[in-house]
A and B are shown apart, each in its own frame.
Chain A
Amino acid sequence: MAEQWESDEELLADLRAALQAEAEVPAWFSETGKAALEWRGLDGELATLTEDSATTAPAGARAEPASLRSLTFTGREVTIGIEVDADELHGQIAPPRAGEIEVRPRRGPVRRLPVDELGWFAIRPKPAGAFRLCFTSAGGHVVLTEWTTV
């Protein structure tokens, strides 16, 4: 590989930029990252966002006020779909199973709501700010979504 730094000045300038990038990281940003390992302790299945109508609708259709935004979180065994209304969320667990769903906001209390045998649940009012959903089936299987905002 060719020499990357022809002169000491170039090396110093890059070193300085590298150290500055490190100094610029806000403490809260690193703390959020360090807290991420605790989530692993929950021993659940992570469901990641695989579909979001806000990001996949064709450009012209997005402005339709009547259309509901829908999101799909996909885990290994379970999918959680939600539709966003003006002031509430409707969701379904697939394949359908009963249990309990928790709404976990970044700050503030956790809300616990029932999920019926068809896998349906409703969250009113809809969460303000970022939150995660945590579904626990009647059999004790746990599925946790990523953070999202609606």
Chain B
Amino acid sequence: MRDDPGVTALVKRARDGDQEAWNALVDRFAPLVWSVCRRHDLSRADAEEAGSNVWLRLVEGLGSLREPAALPGWLVTVTRRECLRVVSGRRGQVLVADDRFPGEDGLAADAEVLKQEQYLALREAFAGLSDRCRRLLTLLFSEPRPSYTEISDRLDMRVGGIGPTRLRCLDALRRSAPLAPYVTAPEA
């Protein structure tokens, strides 16, 4: 994943104690931390303990973080370890003491990390779409999927306009900066 100037700026501000910037970082990465916790099937108390320690380590590590691009990989690794640890109070697991921020290549092969990075990029790309696109796409994948007539009513859009708008929105998504690493540039 490329270095995100937005994340770099948030990390700098959070390092100086800016609560708003820290909240934005937590909102951005909480789905990643949570999805890893969920996979370990923890109770609420255990998830709270594991999650707390992940954020605590991140707060502590903000000063030494050089590559925000390595953050998703680091978070997945630390969360896995914290989850195993809360479970290991009861059962045996191996502790890994090393939680320095790794370079990008050290974790590049990890499928979970790659997926989480992709999800982050998708959420960011989606947030950058127009309001109209976000509403249309949200309706298109809601369950049960509303009919085109319903969508037309809800968005005040001609039925005939839904298809082309959908195409335009997906095109905008593919061409957005956050998805650039995942999409081949169109032939000139």
Interface residues of A (CB under 8 A from B): 1-5, 8, 11-19, 21-22, 24-26, 28-30, 32-34, 36-37, 39-41, 46, 48-52, 54-57, 59, 62, 106, 129-130, 146-150
The bracket for how many chain B residues form the interface is 35 or more
Check if B67 is an interface residue, CB within 8 A of chain A: no
A-B contact count (CB 8 A): 151
The answer to whether B89 touches A15, judged by C-beta atoms less than 8 angstroms apart, is no
The answer to whether A57 touches B92, judged by C-beta atoms less than 8 angstroms apart, is yes
Interface residues of B (CB under 8 A from A): 14, 17, 19, 22-23, 26-27, 30-35, 37-38, 44-45, 47-49, 51-60, 85-86, 88-90, 92-95, 97, 99, 118-120, 122-123, 126, 137-138, 140-141, 166-167, 170, 173-174, 181-184
A54-B92 contact given A32-B55, A147-B56, CB 8 Å threshold: yes
The answer to whether A19 touches B58, judged by C-beta atoms less than 8 angstroms apart, is no
Chain B residues within 8 Å of A29, by CB:
30, 33-34, 37, 47-48, 51
Least Cβ distance of B133 to chain A in Å?
11
Nearest opposing residue in chain B for A46, CB measure: B60
Chain A residues within 8 Å of B58, by CB:
36
The answer to whether A55 touches B92, judged by C-beta atoms less than 8 angstroms apart, is yes
